[in-house]
């Protein structure tokens, strides 16, 4: 694309941004002066805005301009829901020949717009199309793109709000699991875990129980699969949920044990061991057993050095407890670590 075309494209895109901001300004001022009921007229109150939006949708082939409709889709739906719903198939064309236009609008929508229940009610078929395209996007691509990450995050949010069902065969979640690669499926649990960890205070039990059902559903699918290797990257994402500390420790350690036994892998062991060091205060034997599974899992030889101090803490806590079995398990694991060349764990035996 030549510089002159880029400049024209950028100018048109910036102009469309200005039209959006102008429409929002009109809405706020009319609402303040005449009352909110006056704004039910939508773009009838600002026909000059509708004229611009209609013209660019019909005649402008620019992907940069089309991306503006996606980025500000939530605002468009708020400003004039009737117009926006009517133009939905034009903003997000489902015809495969118009894939570039769809991607331009969808990628900016999913990157810039937060999950909204009102928007989901309108965009559910568009989410469905984006999920179907995951099968094509993932083939031959290394890593996960940002639009894919945001799509998984949106689905996670909608699920914990109770807007999506895990057992609906034609629902968005089932279609996501059918089309997304294992790493992206695992990112959904990473996002859930990170969100929980960043939540101050208690999380409502209704949400915790709902998220537990989500995890248990996918774990059971993985356990029943003839080829469990296909679920390794997905189930390994449980580390983030475990590390959040928002779930019951007994339930969480049970799930961690199942994952390590099933796929012999967990993402970012450091955050898991950090949490196990806390769990060891009340469940020392369980913490040591989980640590043992982690030590024997799919690890690079150098990885343990990143969390050996926390591992020592777990073992020391177990040796100082009144639980004889916990102490024996800690001593046994210290011997195993020593046999692997980690001689610094001899202090556990000396203790």
pLDDT at 1: 35
Cα 316 from Cα 327, distance rounded (Å): 9
C-beta of residue 110 within 8 angstroms of C-beta of residue 147: yes
pLDDT at 4: 32
C-beta of residue 13 within 8 angstroms of C-beta of residue 72: no
pLDDT at 349: 78
Instruction: Note the pLDDT tens digit of each residue in 157-168.
Output: 999 999 999 999
Please, which pLDDT band fits residue 37 given cuts at 50, 70 and 90? low
Q: Return all residues near 253 (Cβ < 8 A) that are at least 6 apart.
A: 242, 276, 279, 283, 286, 287, 290
Is 307's pLDDT higher than 60? Answer: yes
pLDDT at 222: 96
Q: What value does the mean pLDDT take over residues 19-40? A: 76
Choose among 222, 268, 262: nearest CA to 244.
268
* More confident: 211 or 40: 211
Choose among 123, 128, 135: nearest CA to 173.
128
Is 312's pLDDT higher than 90? Answer: yes
Q: For the chain, what are the domain ranges?
A: 1-113, 114-223
The total number of residues shown for the chain amounts to 351
Instruction: Count CA within 13 A, CB hemisphere, residue 243.
Output: 22
pLDDT at 34: 63
C-beta of residue 115 within 8 angstroms of C-beta of residue 158: yes
Compute and round to an integer the Cα radius of gyration of the chain: 26
Is 138's pLDDT higher than 80? Answer: no
pLDDT at 9: 47
Cα 176 from Cα 306, distance rounded (Å): 34
Q: What value does the mean pLDDT take over residues 95-122? A: 96
Please, which pLDDT band fits residue 140 given cuts at 50, 70 and 90? very low
Q: Supply the pTM of this predicted model.
A: 0.90
Considering only the C-alpha atoms of the chain, give the largest distance between any 2 of them, rounded to a whole number of Å. Answer: 82
C-beta of residue 244 within 8 angstroms of C-beta of residue 251: no
C-beta of residue 42 within 8 angstroms of C-beta of residue 82: yes
Is 3's pLDDT higher than 50? Answer: no
Residue 196 structure tokens: 């929980």
Instruction: Note the pLDDT tens digit of each residue in 230-285.
Output: 999 999 999 999 999 999 999 999 999 999 999 999 999 999 999 999 999 999 99
pLDDT at 45: 83
């Amino acid at each position: 694309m030549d510089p002159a075309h880029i400049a024209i494209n950028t100018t048109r895109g910036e102009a469309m941004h200005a039209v959006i901001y102008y429409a929002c300004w009109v809405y706020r001022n009319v609402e303040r002066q005449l009352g909110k009921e006056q704004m039910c007229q939508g773009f009838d109150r600002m026909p000059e805005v509708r004229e611009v939006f209609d013209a660019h949708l019909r005649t402008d082939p620019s992907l940069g301009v089309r991306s503006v409709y996606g980025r500000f889709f939530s605002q468009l739906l708020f400003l004039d829901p009737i117009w926006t719903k009517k133009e939905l198939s034009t903003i997000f064309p489902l015809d495969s020949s118009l894939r570039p236009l769809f991607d331009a609008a969808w990628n900016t929508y999913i990157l810039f717009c937060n999950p909204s229940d009102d928007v989901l009610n309108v965009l559910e078929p568009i989410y469905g199309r984006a999920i179907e395209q995951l099968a094509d996007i993932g083939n031959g691509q290394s890593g996960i793109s940002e639009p894919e990450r945001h799509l998984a995050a949106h689905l996670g949010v909608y699920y914990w709000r109770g807007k999506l069902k895990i057992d609906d065969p034609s629902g968005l979640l089932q279609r996501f699991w059918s089309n997304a690669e294992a790493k992206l499926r695992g990112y959904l649990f990473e996002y859930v875990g990170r969100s929980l960890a960043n939540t101050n205070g208690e999380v409502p039990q209704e949400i915790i129980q709902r998220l537990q059902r989500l995890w248990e559903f996918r774990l059971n699918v993985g356990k029943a699969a003839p080829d469990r290797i296909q679920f390794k990257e997905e189930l390994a994402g449980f580390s983030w949920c475990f590390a959040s500390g928002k779930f019951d420790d007994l339930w969480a350690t049970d799930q961690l044990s199942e994952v390590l036994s099933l796929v012999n892998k967990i993402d970012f062991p450091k955050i898991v061991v950090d949490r196990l060091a806390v769990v060891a205060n009340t469940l020392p034997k369980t913490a040591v057993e989980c640590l043992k599974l982690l030590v024997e899992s799919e690890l690079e030889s150098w990885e343990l050095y990143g969390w050996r101090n926390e591992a020592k803490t777990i073992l020391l806590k177990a040796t100082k407890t009144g639980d004889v079995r916990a102490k024996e398990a800690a001593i046994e694991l210290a011997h195993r670590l020593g046999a692997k060349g980690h001689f610094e764990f001899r202090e556990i035996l000396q203790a």
